Amino acid sequence: MGDWSFLVVAVVLTALAFDFTNGFHDTANAMATSIATGALPPRIAVAISGALNLVGAFLSTEVAKTISGGIVDDSLVTPAMIFAGLVGAIVWNLVTWVFGLPSSSSHALFGGLIGAVWVGAGVKGVHFSVVTEKILIPALASPLIAGVVAVAGTYLAYVITRRGRQEEVTRGFRAGQIASASLVSLAHGTNDAQKTMGVITLTLISAGVLSHGSGPPWWVVTMAGLAIALGTYVGGWRIIRTMGRGLADIQSPQGFAAETSATTVILASSHLGFALSTTQVCSGAILGAGVGRRLAEVRWSVAGRMVLAWVFTLPAAATVGGLAAAVAQQGTAGIVVVLVAAIAVATAIYVVSRRNPVHAANVNDQPTTAVISPSAV
């Protein structure tokens, strides 16, 4: 069996750092509509979401197995490649967060890992058939499916309650939103925390600590769940504002329909081992809920910029991951250079974010500027 080298420890910690960014980047998936409609106060919403993300991390490991032994050849992968891929994912997550773009943390991870392995091990290191089946096809299908289900659910919600008193209907659906948003958080933990579990497991396999084909050990499951839960509690307020206020005018029946639709798609996909993007699913559901209510305003220009971000995510993260891999494979000095560069980029992005802070107190304010497209980054 292999040893716990400094590099392996560094990769595990970097993976947990990515998991943290995944948490605050994707908090909006579960709670944006509940916060926007007033079903839950912002701080309580993120606290509930964080706790349920932790619980969800223990429900399944099928997606983790897809990553640790599916999209890349674990016999060719080194810890340095995984480290580089994680850096690519973290950088893209931070760039899209500062612009309030609900891009996919999942695809950032996949892109970073694919780019790093491609540079480090060649094209034979990536299983493109698995990438197509388990990642690309679900990426295209899942937001459309969630959107169609949300359109139907929203229409039915308004038809069923059209004779009810508006105050009672709103109160009832707000209560329902607490349950539906909680289910989205549970589903997010089940799907997204597994991605970090898979990366850490892949690292341990590549270092010889675990045998080929191993699943994530219990301590990996626990640490991944805690990291994503903590990130979720921090709250990615910029993206919460975009999804709650920027995409469509959302009322409580729509929020309930969107969250329920997203939960159904995410949990079904997790059970089948599809590592889909919860961001894309939830965004599709919110758009579907907007379309499903007559006369609701849907901001298609914002949706278009979001789709551009989705298209850019895989290649952008892959490019950063590939460049990082080229440097990281030069040895300890290369690892240090990549680490310092990543910290510098993260610090610069944080400084930029403080010029126009978004937090729990102003998250429901209408955005005053358009979401910036990735091409402008």
pLDDT tens across the length of the chain (377 residues): 557 788 888 899 999 999 999 888 887 777 888 888 888 888 898 899 899 989 988 886 666 666 655 677 877 888 899 999 999 999 999 999 988 888 888 889 889 999 999 999 999 888 888 888 878 888 888 899 999 999 999 999 888 888 878 888 888 888 888 888 888 888 788 777 888 888 898 888 878 888 877 778 889 989 999 999 998 888 778 888 888 777 777 788 888 888 888 888 877 876 776 667 788 888 889 889 888 887 667 788 888 888 888 889 999 999 999 999 999 988 889 999 999 999 999 999 999 998 888 888 888 776 654 444 333 33
DSSP for 235-300? --HHHHHIIIIISB---HHHHHHHHHHHHHHHHHHHHHT----HHHHHHHHHHHHHHHSTT--B-H
The answer to whether position 372 is within a domain reads: no
The answer to whether position 147 is within a domain reads: yes
The answer to whether position 312 is within a domain reads: yes
The answer to whether position 59 is within a domain reads: yes
The answer to whether position 374 is within a domain reads: no
Residue 308 to residue 102: CA distance in whole angstroms: 11
Please give the pLDDT value at position 93. Answer: 92
DSSP for 80-124? HHHHHHHHHHHHHHHHHHHTT----HHHHHHHHHHHHHHHHH-GG
Please give the pLDDT value at position 66. Answer: 61
Is residue 126 classed as helix, strand or coil in its secondary structure? strand
In this structure, how many other beta carbons lie within 10 angstroms of the beta carbon of residue 349? Answer: 16
The answer to whether position 54 is within a domain reads: yes
Distances from the Cα of 333 to the Cα of 7, 327, 328, 336, 338, angstroms: 12, 9, 8, 5, 9
The answer to whether position 375 is within a domain reads: no
The answer to whether position 219 is within a domain reads: yes
DSSP for 176-236? HHHHHHHHHHHHHHHHHHHHHHHHHHHHHHHTTSS-TTPPPPHHHHHHHHHHHHHHHHH--
Q: Which of 7-14's residues contact partners 24+ apart within 8 Å by CB, and which partners?
A: 7/79, 7/80, 7/83, 7/335, 8/79, 8/203, 8/204, 8/207, 8/209, 10/83, 10/335, 10/339, 11/79, 11/82, 11/83, 11/86, 11/200, 11/203, 12/200, 12/203, 14/83, 14/86, 14/87, 14/90
pTM, full prediction: 0.83
Please give the pLDDT value at position 369. Answer: 44
How many domains, the chain? 1
Helix pair angle (332-353, 79-98), 10° resolution: 10
Residue range of the domain that includes 192: 6-366
